[in-house]
Structure 1
Amino acid sequence: MKLSGLGVWNLYFLVKFALYYYGAIDFNVLANAALAAMLAIKFKAMAIEKVKHIVGAIFAVVLLYKDSWLPPINRLTKQAGNVQDFSFGYFLELLARVINVDMLLALFVISICFWYTSQWVRFTTITVIGLMVVGWQDDDSQSQVENNVVNPSTITKKQDDTQAQVVTQATQSPDQKLADFYQQQSLLTSHFPSQVNGELFDIIILNICSMAVDDLDTIGVSVTEMYKDFDVVFSDFNSATSYSGPAAIRLLRASCGQTSQTALFKDAPEQCYLFKNLEKLGYQNNVVMNHDGHFDGFKDLISKYGGLDSTPFDIDSMPVAQYGFDDSPIYSDGAVLNSWLDQQAKNCKPCAMYYNTTSLHDGNQLANRARMNSQQSYPIRHENLFNDIGKFIKNLEKRGRNVMLMVVPEHGAALKGDKVQFAGLREIPSPAIVSVPVAIKFIGPDVKSYSQVVIDESTSYFALSELVSKTLQTNVFGGNNSVASLFENLPKAPKVAENADTIMMYVNQRPYIQLDGGDWSAYPQGK
C-alpha cells in the first residue's frame, strides 16, 4: 500500500470546483478531502484496488448530492406521492429548466482540457491546492457569520442601554439569534375586542399561490400600479415559507407570533386562530377555493391546523380556466368569487371568507389553448387573475356592503430561479420567494378616501391580525375615522423563513441558510 496520484478522479474534483465557483453547489471541504485521501491510497492487490474505486464512486455520488442544493433524500421520499401526480408535460418542462447549456459547455471544456493536458500537468497537486483554497475561504466565511462585524472590544464602556443591546445582537451566533427571534415571537398575541365597534363589515382574504415581488419584477409589473386602487400596500411582506400548506397555516394562525415549521403541525392556543377569533364575534366562516384542495392534503391542512373546518364552497359547476401541473381542473377565479357573492355571502352577516387560488402555480396550462411553457403563460394568467379580482371588487362595491379585503400571496413562483435553485424550485425559502406583495382595501359607502399608504419595512402575518383587531375597534366604515390611523405602529418582523429542515435568516443584512441543522452559509446572490 502506498500513496499515488488521483488520476482520473482529479476530473471529479475539478468539476466540483467549477460548480462551486459557479455557485451551483456547496462544498464540504473535510468530506471531499477525506474522499481524495482515500482515493490517493494505492493497494498492491488489484481486487482491493477495484473495490476502492467502486466504494469511491458510491461516496463520490453521495457527496455530490450532499454538496448540491437539491432537497434532502428524506424530503424527496416524503414528496414521492406528490411528484407522481406531475403530468408528463410538466416533467419535460422541469427537465428543460434543470439542463443549463452554459454549464454543460463549461464541463465539456474542462473534460477535454483535462484529457489533453493530463500527460504533463500534475492535476493531483492542483486538486490539493484547490481543497486548501476552498477550505480557507470556508473558514473565513464561517468566522464572519459567527463573529459578526461588530467587535465588542471596540465599544467604549460608557455606552448606553441601546448601544449595549445593539452590540449584544450583533455578536450573537445565528443559532442564538434564531432562538431569540422565536422567543420574542412567542410573546405576541392579538387581543380582539368582545364586540365590533360601529358598523359591521365582512372580512375577505384572497390567498394567492405563487406571486412574489421578484416575480412581478420579472414580468414587468409594478406592485404599486397593480394595487393602485388599494388603500395600503406592504411591499416587503414575509410569507415565512415557500410552500402553500405552511403559508396558509401561518396566515390562519396570524393572531400569534411566528413559530417554527415544526410547531405549525401541532395544536396551537385557540387565540392564535384568526378565524376562530372572528367566529366569537359572530362572523360566519366561509372556505372558497378555485381547486379541489387535494394536492399535498391542502384542504385537510387548513382544517386541522388552521382552524377552518367549514365545508368548502361547491365549485363543480364552475367554468374551468386552467389545468394544473397534475392535470386537475382549476376553475375561473371570477366565476368562483362572484358565485360565492351571489349565493352564499347573502346568508352571512358578517362574513369571514378565506379564498385560495392556484391560478398562478407553476406548471398550469390555460384551458382551450395550445400547450405553453408555464413561465411564458404566467403574465397572461396574472393579468386574468387581477382582472377577475377587479371585477369582484366592483361587484362588492355595488352591493353596498362594508368589506375589508386583503390580498395575501402564499409565496413566490421563483420565475427566474438563481444559482442555487432552478426556476420553479422552492425548496429553500430564499428572499426572492418569501418577499411577497400584500394589499388591503376598505370597501364601503362611508369609508373615507385618502392617499395610498406603502409600507416598505419587513412585516408578516401578525401585523395583519393586529390590523383586523384595530379595524374591529375603530368605526372606519361609519365614516367617523380615517383608515390611515389603522397603520400606525404596526409590528415589524425580521425576515426569517423556514421549510422542513431548511431555514433562511438575515445575518448582517445578508441572507444565510441552514440545511438539515448543519452550518450556516451565505445564500449565493445573483443568477
Structure 2
Amino acid sequence: MKLSGLGVWNLYFIVKFALFYYGAIDFDFLSNAAFAALLAIQLKDVRIEKVKHVIAIVIAVILLYKDSWLPPINRLTKQAGNVQDFSFGYFIELMGRVINVDMLLGFFIIVILFWYSSQWIRFTTVTIAGLMFIGWQGQSSLTNNNVNQVAGNNFAAEPQNRESIVTTETQSPEQKLKDFYQQQSLLTSHFPQEYNGEMFDVIILNICSMAVDDLNTIGVSVTDMYKDFDVVFSDFNSATSYSGPAAIRLLRASCGQTSQTALFKDAPEQCYLFKNLEKLGYQNNIVMNHDGHFDEFKGLIKKNGGLDSKPFNIDSMPVAQYGFDNSPIYSDGAVLNGWLDTDAKDCAPCAMYYNTISLHDGNQFVNHARTTSQESYPTRHENLFSDINKFIKNLEKRDRNVMLMIVPEHGAALKGDKVQFAGLREIPSPAIVSVPVAIKFIGPDVQSYSQIVIDESTSYFALSELINKTLQTNLFGGNSSIANLLENLPKAPKVAENADTIMMYVNKRPYIQLDGGDWSAYPQGK
C-alpha cells in the first residue's frame, strides 16, 4: 500500500470545484477530503485496486448527489408514488432543467483542458490546494456566523415587524422559531354570533403556482394585474411551497401560523375558517378545476381543512389542459360560471372555496403542440385572469354582495436559483412563498375609492381578521369604508416550512434549516 496521485479522479474534483464556485452545488469538505484520501491510497493487489475504483464510482455519485441541492433520497422515496404519476414528457422537461446546454459545454471544455494539460500540470496538487481552500473558507464562514450570532440576530421579515418577536441578542434561531410559534398560538379570530347588516358571499380563489417573482419573470405588474381590486397584498407569506399544506393553512386561517407537522393534526374548531362561516348560516361549497386525486388533495382539505362538502361536479365541463400526470384540467371560466349558474343559486349566503391548477408546472394545452412550462406560463396566466375577470363581471350582474379573495398557494419557481432549478420547490425560498393576494368587494353600496396596496409581510390570519371585521362593520350597507377594515391589520414575519425544511429571516436575510441540521444563509441570485 502506498500513496499516489489521483489520476483521472482529479477531473471529478475539478468539475465539483467549478460547480461549487458557480453555486450549483454545496461542498462538504470532510466527506470530499476523505474520499480524495481514499483514492490516493494505491493497493498492491491489482484486483483489489480495481474493486476499489468500482466502489469509488458509487461513492462519487452518492457524494455528488449529497453535495447537490436536490432533495434527500429519503424524501424522494416518500414521494415515489407521486413521481410515478409524472408523464414521460414531463420527465424529459425536468431533465432539461437539471442539465442545461451551458453546463454541458462547460463540462466539455474542462475535460479537454484537463487531458491537454495533464502531461505538464500535477492536478493532484491542484485538487489538494482546492480542498484546503474550501476547508479554510468554510472555517472562516463558521467563525463569522458565530460572531454574527453573538452580536445579535434580529429576526423579522421586514424592519417594521421587529416588534412582533421578542428576542434576546444571544438567542439561537431555534429559540426564535419557538418564540414565533408560541406567539402565533395566541392568535384566534373571534367571529360574531351573527353578522351585522347586509349579508354577503365569501368567495376564495386559491391559485396554484403564482408568486410575485413569477409575475416579474413574465413582465406582469402585481398592481396592474389587480387594477380592479380594492386591496392588494404585495408580500403575502404562503408559509409553504406545496399545495396541500398551503390549502390547509388557508382553511385554518382563523388561528395563527403553526408548524408543518401540526397541520396534519386536529386543530381547535375555531381555527377552521369555513366552519366559522358555517355557524353564521353560510353554505360551504368546494369547487375545483381538477379531480383532486394527486397527493390526495381532496382528502387533505376535507380531513385537515374542515371542508367536508361534496365538490361541485365538473365532469361535463370542457377540458382546457392536461396536467403533468396527464389528468384533465378543466376550463376555469366554464367551472366558475357553471357553479355560479347552478349551485350558487341555492345558497344565501355562500362560502365558496375554489382551487385551480391551471398554472401548475408541466401542464399542456389541449390540441396544442407540446411546449415547456416556462414557455406556456404567460399564456396560461393570461387565460386564467381573463376567465376570472369574466367571472367577476357575472358576479356584478347578479347584484349580490361578494367579498372575493384571490390567494395563491405558492409560486411556480419559473426562474429557479442557485439552490433549486426551475420548478423545484423543495425549499420554501422567499421567491416561492412571497405571493400576491388581492381582495375585491362587490356590491352597490360599497365605499371604494382607489386601490390600497399593503407592502408589509402578512399571512393567512390577516385574511380571517378581514372577513371577521367585514361581518361586524356592515361594509356592504355603506356604513364603513374599506380603509377602516385595514386598520391594525395583523402583520407576520416571513417563516415558511415544508417537511423537514424551514426558512426564516435572520438579520434581514433568508436562512434555511434542512433535516434539523445547522442554519445557513440561503444563496441569493441565479
Q: TM-score range by the shorter chain?
A: over 0.9
Q: Is the 2:199–2:349 Cα contact (8 Å) retained in structure 1?
A: yes
Q: Which moved more, 1:115-124 or 1:297-306?
A: 115-124
Whole-Å separation in 2 of the counterparts to 1:486 and 1:170: 36
Show the counterpart of 1:159.
none
- Does 1:193 pair with 2:192? yes
Show the counterpart of 2:156.
none
Mapping of 1:309-388 within 5 angstroms? Answer: 309-388=308-387
Kindly state the Cα deviation for residue 374 of structure 1 after the two structures are TM-superposed: 2.4
Q: Which moved more, 1:120-129 or 1:221-230?
A: 120-129
Q: Is the 1:182–1:259 Cα contact (8 Å) retained in structure 2?
A: yes
- Does 1:24 pair with 2:27? no
CA-to-partner distance for each residue in 1:183-240, whole Å, 9 max, x for gaps?
Answer: 2222222111111111111110000001111111111111000001111000011111
- Does 1:489 pair with 2:488? yes
User: Residue type matched to 2:127 in 1?
Assistant: T
Mapping of 1:59-78 within 5 angstroms? Answer: 59-78=59-78
Q: Is the 2:167–2:176 Cα contact (8 Å) retained in structure 1?
A: no
- Does 1:271 pair with 2:270? yes
Percent identical residues: 81
Whole-Å separation in 1 of the counterparts to 2:455 and 2:162: 25
Show the counterpart of 1:232.
231
Q: Which moved more, 1:127-136 or 1:307-316?
A: 127-136
Show the counterpart of 2:454.
455
CA-to-partner distance for each residue in 1:282-308, whole Å, 9 max, x for gaps?
Answer: 111110001111111110111111111
For residue 148 of structure 1, give the secondary structure of its aligned residue in structure 2. Answer: helix
TM-score, reference length from structure 2: 0.94
Kindly state the Cα deviation for residue 64 of structure 1 after the two structures are TM-superposed: 0.9
User: Residue type matched to 2:148 in 1?
Assistant: N
Show the counterpart of 2:4.
4
Q: Is the 1:417–1:423 Cα contact (8 Å) retained in structure 2?
A: yes
Whole-Å separation in 2 of the counterparts to 1:286 and 1:164: 38
Q: Which moved more, 1:164-173 or 1:259-268?
A: 164-173
Kindly state the Cα deviation for residue 97 of structure 1 after the two structures are TM-superposed: 1.9
CA-to-partner distance for each residue in 1:252-298, whole Å, 9 max, x for gaps?
Answer: 11111111111111111111111111111111111000111111111
Whole-Å separation in 2 of the counterparts to 1:150 and 1:500: 29
Whole-Å separation in 2 of the counterparts to 1:322 and 1:42: 58
Whole-Å separation in 1 of the counterparts to 2:149 and 2:74: 36
Mapping of 1:99-498 within 5 angstroms? Answer: 99-148=99-148, 151=151, 168-498=167-497
For residue 171 of structure 2, give the secondary structure of its aligned residue in structure 1. Answer: coil
Q: Which moved more, 1:433-442 or 1:83-92?
A: 83-92
CA-to-partner distance for each residue in 1:298-343, whole Å, 9 max, x for gaps?
Answer: 1011111111111000011111111111121111111111111111
Kindly state the Cα deviation for residue 178 of structure 1 after the two structures are TM-superposed: 2.0
TM-score, reference length from structure 1: 0.94
Kindly state the Cα deviation for residue 420 of structure 1 after the two structures are TM-superposed: 1.8
Show the counterpart of 2:155.
none
RMSD (Å), alpha carbons: 2.0
Q: Is the 2:209–2:409 Cα contact (8 Å) retained in structure 1?
A: yes
Q: Is the 2:208–2:409 Cα contact (8 Å) retained in structure 1?
A: yes
Q: Which moved more, 1:280-289 or 1:123-132?
A: 123-132
Q: Is the 1:142–1:521 Cα contact (8 Å) retained in structure 2?
A: no
For residue 437 of structure 1, give the secondary structure of its aligned residue in structure 2. Answer: strand
Unaligned runs of 5+ in 2: 153-160
Unaligned runs of 5+ in 1: 153-161
Whole-Å separation in 2 of the counterparts to 1:299 and 1:164: 38
Show the counterpart of 2:82.
82
Moved over 4 A (4+): 162-170
Q: Is the 2:165–2:180 Cα contact (8 Å) retained in structure 1?
A: no
Whole-Å separation in 2 of the counterparts to 1:58 and 1:93: 26
Q: Is the 1:148–1:508 Cα contact (8 Å) retained in structure 2?
A: no
